Structure 1
Amino acid sequence: MPYRRRQQLHRVARRATQPGRPNPIGRHLSTAPLPSPSPAAARPVPPRAPRADAVGEPERDGATSSRQGLDWARRTELIAVVLGVLLSPLIAAAGIWYSNNQVRDQLKISSQELNVTQEGQITDRYTKAVESLDKKAMDVRLGGIYALQRIMEDSPRDHPTIANVLATYIRTHTDKASKDGEVSADVHAALTVLAYRDTTRDKFFYLDLRHTHLSGIELQPRFRDVKPKETIGVLSREPIGAKLTNANLTKADLTDAHLPYAELSGANLIDADLIGAKLIGADLIGAKLIGADLIGADLTHARGLQVREVISAVIDSTTKLPSALAKDPAVTARIAEVESN
């Protein structure tokens, strides 16, 4: 192609590309100018600045890792504090419970050791007291009897055993009447201990004084202050006699015995010798008097005495009975029968 022709084509092409000029190439091609970009779209976007850390310095990858580690440490510390607050009362309660258990176990052990020591001491005291009952000296025997009384008071468990020992001592030392007809001091002391014992501790013990010779025995009542319900501010003296409840006194020799206000309820007095006995105000509820010799006995104000029991005993006009019984026809007939023989 000639040079000049080529130059012309180049000019046409440049003109076609200029905006606002018709397209010389052809009408079918769009000669609309391309939309120019908006100023906002054409504005360059500045690069994003890195985040600053707590001190205002740009955050780097190492700083991010450090911050994450710091947050985890704070979380761990917070969890530890919360757990400490929640668990400290439980730990304290567990410590108190454990300490209480330790103290309780220690007290239990100490109590057991103390009981063993006390039992050993009581056993030694009991052995020495019983050994003294076989001594010839009266004062030694009396000391042994009162030592047994003290053990009865200190050891309720040994009460029935000691009471039985004293009752046996009385029976073996009164199986025969004494030459002077009086009861020895040691026997009287043993009977006094039994007569004024705490009967609520008797359990299986029943006083057995059958076939004993206790003539002239004297067990005076003791008195206690009593405030009647219907009287305000006034105390009365109530006698407490010898406690011989349910005692076995079968064929016992109680001649001229002084047993005022004695508690003889349920006592077995069958064939007992009560000649001249002083039983004023005695409690004889349920007592068995079959064949008992009541000649000259004083039963004034005796309680619980029944006609059938009186007429089963040996009585005469010298027997002092409660007024209601003394006038009973059956009683007067029994007196006449005894005196006629």
Structure 2
Amino acid sequence: MTQCFDAALRAFQPALPLAVGLSGGADSTALLLACAERWPGQVQAIHVHHGLQAAADGFEQHCRALCARLQVPLTVQRVDARAAPGQSPEDAARQARYKAFEVAALASQAQAAIQSIALAQHADDQVETLLLALSRGAGVAGLAAMPMHWRRAGLDWHRPLLRVPGPDVRAWLQARGETWVEDPSNRDERYTRNRIRSRLLPALQAALPQFRATFARSAAHAAQASALLQELAAEDLVRVGTPPRVAALQALSPARQANVLRHWLRTQHATTPSTAQLQALQRQIAACRTRGHQIHLRVGRGFVQCRQGELHWYNSAVLTPTST
């Protein structure tokens, strides 16, 4: 069962030095062990202490002991991962982790010049992410799930285990006699991801033994479609302008209009409309045939308003109009 894990690590060719996100769980423990053995002296670890549960101190102690044994430098970042109103606890923790990884990597530049960060999500995590997206009615961007490689904050980010089944990761550790810590929250079925893990994955394994590979192909197809839609949206945004002109938007098909509006709101204003909000905005755009027609709708975290034939978005918290 460990051949898949070994093959994934052989194929992993990051720019060095490398930092590994280390939670103390089985997946990140295995990834750090494998990377430290392959690139001695070129690997560091970053542990994010969320402070959300009593077990968090135990996670940190495990990470410190492991890194001391491996002679791997460890950075511990303590964060406030409490969810904001309307934000899921999982999303809040994820955003806090990424920010902490960036801060730790940039802080080390003067000493070790970290070039890459490796995260330990595996094939089961990818399936869970895809099923979560389906449960929320996500579009192709959501169904693309998690990429294996991307650029962020001047760093290369990798998920080298994304095609490795979760059981294979644990089998690799067990074969070496290694230990890890178990996060008690992973058994809490109040969280949808945990219900998917405990109930759906075993059923999929019984009914569709190749589900990890086939779901990964579907996610890859969705990622390709999402990239094409982003290219089209960028071209259409040049055509309609920033701020978008209502008349130019009306010349587009409904699908292209929705695509470019999402792109405008996400790239220019870092906000995402709900399906209902976007549909309401499109209805107003279609009805906007006179100079006196008013548009004033809540969209994402703020409002869209029509002024002089152009759409403007402003943040409802500060009521500051923004036109780019």
Higher helix share: 2
Please give the range of the TM-score, normalised by the shorter of the 2 chains: under 0.3
Q: Which is greater in Rg?
A: 1
The structure with higher relative contact order (CA 8 Å, sep 6+) is 2
Q: TM-score scaled to structure 2, two decimals?
A: 0.20
Q: TM-score scaled to structure 1, two decimals?
A: 0.19
